């Protein structure tokens, strides 16, 4: 949903871009999606006591593991689905470019998150 809203907002600008620029812009959106999803997951995890209480229960562990599996699936799709699709369609150079760009954006975002955390503590 968020991705579709962002794509609608920037779609007119994407028409004027070359293929590499489009791949970089889309990889940025995928990396941003990973950041937003992990922020959501972190909020859910940090609210564990409010959601499940302080009493020991198997359901807290089940919920955590289910969130972990769901997170792996969502983040895996955001990082690897487009490169795999491009690769299968014979666009091998574009697939590698997209994957490397997404990982580079993630590294930049991770550095920014860690740096901001260190500066505010």
What is the sign, positive or negative, of the torsion defined by CA atoms of 40, 46, 47, 52? positive
3-state SS record for 5-58: HHHHHHHHHHHCCCHHHHHHHHHHHHHHHHHHHHHHHHHHHHCHHHHHCCCCCH
Q: What is the DSSP letter of 55?
A: S
Token pair recorded at residue 49: 């006591």
| pLDDT of the residue at 20 | 83
Q: Higher pLDDT residue, 30 or 16?
A: 30
Residue 102: name the closest of 71, 62, 75, 121 by CA. 75
Q: Higher pLDDT residue, 19 or 42?
A: 42
pLDDT digits (tens, 9 = 90+) for 32-77: 999 999 999 999 888 877 777 777 778 878 888 999 999 999 999 9
| pLDDT of the residue at 6 | 56
Give phi and psi for 90, each to the nearest 5: 85, 5
pTM of the model: 0.77
| pLDDT of the residue at 7 | 57
Residue length, the chain? 121
Residue 13 has pLDDT above 80, yes or no: no
pLDDT digits (tens, 9 = 90+) for 78-112: 999 999 999 999 999 999 999 999 999 999 999 99
Which residue carries 């091998």 as its tokens? 92
Q: Where are the domains of the chain?
A: 2-120
């Amino acid at each position: 949903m968020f991705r579709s809203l962002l794509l609608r907002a920037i779609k007119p600008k994407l028409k004027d871009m070359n293929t590499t620029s489009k791949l970089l812009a889309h990889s940025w959106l995928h990396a941003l999606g990973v950041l937003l999803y992990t922020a959501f997951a972190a909020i859910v995890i940090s609210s564990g006591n409010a959601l499940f209480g302080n009493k020991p229960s198997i359901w807290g562990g089940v919920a955590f593991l289910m969130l972990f599996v769901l997170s792996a699936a969502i983040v895996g799709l955001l990082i690897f689905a487009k490169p795999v699709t491009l690769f299968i369609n014979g666009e091998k150079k574009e697939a590698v470019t997209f994957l490397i760009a997404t990982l580079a954006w993630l590294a930049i975002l991770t550095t920014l998150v860690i740096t901001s955390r260190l500066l505010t503590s």
